[in-house]
Structures are given as structure tokens and as C-alpha cells.
Structure 1
């Protein structure tokens, strides 16, 4: 990735991370080698992820239910919800595809995505932490025995990157007095 580790001020434990880059080569390899497993059945993986979130925080599920009388399973199989799942998985695809390139464009994309989440009535900033935890738990169950510590750490770095910029966009949204709330799906 073009890192220069010859600088004397680089701390030994941080040598794997380049100060100008977001990810180490090992983290990129871990993410890119396990993403095909996760995206093999994109819809199922995405639905499992959201099911995990809904179980951990019912308030998130309530944000998706326009009709409060539909069952959870009806929600999880509704065309609107499945479109959101597809958008979620496509967003991950987009970020993963650009891991080894200049992250400026990806950072901007995530900031805009974070601002969009601020428009969802009921969404709060703490949900980013919940999403990260639920994603790690879901990824572990889907990847199985290949979800070794190195893989987990790679995905944790990836999620810290995503949530850092999405939170930034979320906060920026509220600094603009012209914004209004929307519904998620």
C-alpha cells in the first residue's frame, strides 16, 4: 500500500497501519477474502443482520414498520425491506471495492450516507455502535470457523472506518437547519 515504515516515530505496534492509509494489507486481505462468503447469499446475510439488530433493539425494527400490524416475518420479506437490505449490501460492496484506493471518495460517500440516516425518524447516533456489534456477530455466524481473530480485527477496523464517517455525516445533518425527517423504506 505504499507505506514508509522507515520513520523513527512509528510505534512498533502500529507499524502495520500506515498513517496516510486507513487499513493494513492484512486487514484488507481479511475483509476481501471473507466478503465472498458473506455475499454468497446477499439477501439472507443482510436479512440475518437486520434480524439480529431487531432482536437487540426493537426501536430499530419499529422504524421499518409502516404498518404496525404486520408480523416480523412479513416485514423481513416485504419488497421495501428487501430493497433496503440490497442497498445495505451494495453499500458494503462499494466500500470494500475501494479499500485499496484513495479513501477520500469513500469517506464522502459515507458522510452522505450518515446524513441520510439522520433523516430517518427515530434513528439515533447510538445505533451505529449497535450496527457494528450486530454485524460482527452476524459475520461470525455466517463465516463460521474462518472467522479467526485476524478476520474479526479486520472487520472491526472496517466498521470503525464506516461508522466514523457516517457519524460525521449524521452530526453534520443536524447542523443544517433546512433538513427534515423522512421514513426509512
Structure 2
């Protein structure tokens, strides 16, 4: 499925959905997990397990649709990939950097969908959550990346999911995916904030402490 309907994308970002700047806070995994409670119900887990295979049939194409929408909503994001602001759809789709980023982006979603038990339990020592935290930290190192872009990503995820699932993207299904997107983005945002916290005493490494630890070196890809 192509992204023809992306041409008329219009998204109004909700002021409260994301902050313009990362906020700094201490990281207490046990406190956060207790405060948040379960992210997904059993019914919602079933919904994701039944709809994700449809979305995963062509992850690259669907992922590319997400990014085409993102570039339409906020053309400045093209510059993060060293693309000209006037770069057309064909040039973007054939760009190796975009293709690689799309593949990695969809792999992160696939990894979460394949480990929903981690989402429910919120074990901060799990590889899934550490990967999301490190992904957020990596985005903090990208020159020109703005915190508000996370909100654009979420809204464009919904656009593609609705485009692919069509009538199956009911209110219940949308709410279910919204809960999962919120979990994913919240962990990425947390890693983004933690990177800035870590830069106060250190310049070259990110340390994410919970029950275990993770480190992102400044030369990571």
C-alpha cells in the first residue's frame, strides 16, 4: 500500500501532548512503575496481537508512510537526514539513510509488540526498555532534533495505522495503540531527558541506572 493519502495531511499538535523542552528529574524505576500501573489490559494485548501482524506484513512500506507524513507535517525534519527541503517523495523513498532509519524504527516497534509482557510489567532491567531509553538518548545527540517532534511521530503513527487497518481501526483499537504508543514514546523521551541530565557531570557517556545499567558511548550509531 502506498502513501497517496499523505498529500493532504494536516495535524494540529496538542500543546499538552509534549513539552517543547526536556525536563530534568531523577530516575527512580521502582517509583515510576508503581505510579503508572499496568499499561495494557488483557483485551488490549489481544488487540495488538491481532492487528500488529497486519501492520507488520510490509513494515518498510508502512514505516516509509509514517516518515512521509512526518516530513509533510514538519519539513524541517528533512534536514536531520541531510535532505533538501524541496526533496520530492521519490527521492526520499530511495534515500538509503531514510530506508535504514525506517527499518530500525519499525524494528523497535516490532520488538515492543513481541514483548508485551515487558510493557505490562515495566521491568526497567529488560532489554526492550533499555533499548527505548538508549534510542531517546541517541536522539538527544542529533543536532537540530526538537523534543516536540516526538508528538509528531505519534500522530503520524496513527495516520498510517488508520490507513492500513481501515475499518478495523475502530475507537477501541485506536485507544489500544494509543496506550502502546504512549508507553514507547514515554520511554524514548525519558532516555532523551536522562541524556541531558548525564551531560551535567559527564561529556561522553550516558549511564541509565535501574536494577541494571546501560551505557551509550558518544560514537554509537
**TM-score band, normalised by the shorter chain?**
0.7 to 0.9
Task: Name the structure 1 match of 2:151.
Answer: 129
Task: Name the structure 2 match of 1:5.
Answer: none
Task: Name the structure 2 match of 1:33.
Answer: 50
Instruction: Give the gaps of 5 or more residues in structure 1.
Output: 1-18
Question: Would you say 1:161 and 2:183 are equivalent positions?
Answer: yes
Higher deviation after alignment, 61-70 or 155-164: 61-70
TM superposition shift of 1:76: 2.0
Larger strand proportion of the pair? 2
Distance 1:111 1:43 in 2: 23
Query: How many residues are matched?
Result: 164
Contact 1:112 1:166 in 2 (8 A): yes
Instruction: Give the gaps of 5 or more residues in structure 2.
Output: 1-35, 206-217
Among 61, 64, 70, the alignment partner of 2:78 is 61
Residues 50-74 of structure 1: CA deviation (Å, up to 9, x unaligned)? 0011101111122112567854421
Among 35, 53, 65, the alignment partner of 1:48 is 65
Distance 1:72 1:121 in 2: 24
Q: What is the TM-score of this pair, normalised by structure 2? A: 0.68
Residues 112-156 of structure 1: CA deviation (Å, up to 9, x unaligned)? 111111111111111111111110111101111110111100100
Task: Name the structure 2 match of 1:103.
Answer: 122
| Secondary structure in structure 1 of the residue aligned to 2:116 | coil
Runs of 4+ in structure 1 deviating by more than 3 angstroms, as ranges, are 66-72
Distance 1:179 1:73 in 2: 38
TM superposition shift of 1:89: 0.9
Q: What is the TM-score of this pair, normalised by structure 1? A: 0.80
Distance 1:121 1:167 in 2: 16
Among 106, 111, 133, the alignment partner of 1:94 is 111
| Secondary structure in structure 1 of the residue aligned to 2:142 | coil
TM superposition shift of 1:31: 1.5
Distance 2:131 2:68 in 1: 25
Residues 73-129 of structure 1: CA deviation (Å, up to 9, x unaligned)? 212212221111111111111111111244321322211111111111111111111
Distance 1:30 1:123 in 2: 33
Contact 1:110 1:169 in 2 (8 A): yes
TM superposition shift of 1:21: 2.8
Residues 4-46 of structure 1: CA deviation (Å, up to 9, x unaligned)? xxxxxxxxxxxxxxx7432111211122211111111111101
Taking only aligned residues, the RMSD between alpha carbons, in angstroms, comes to: 2.2
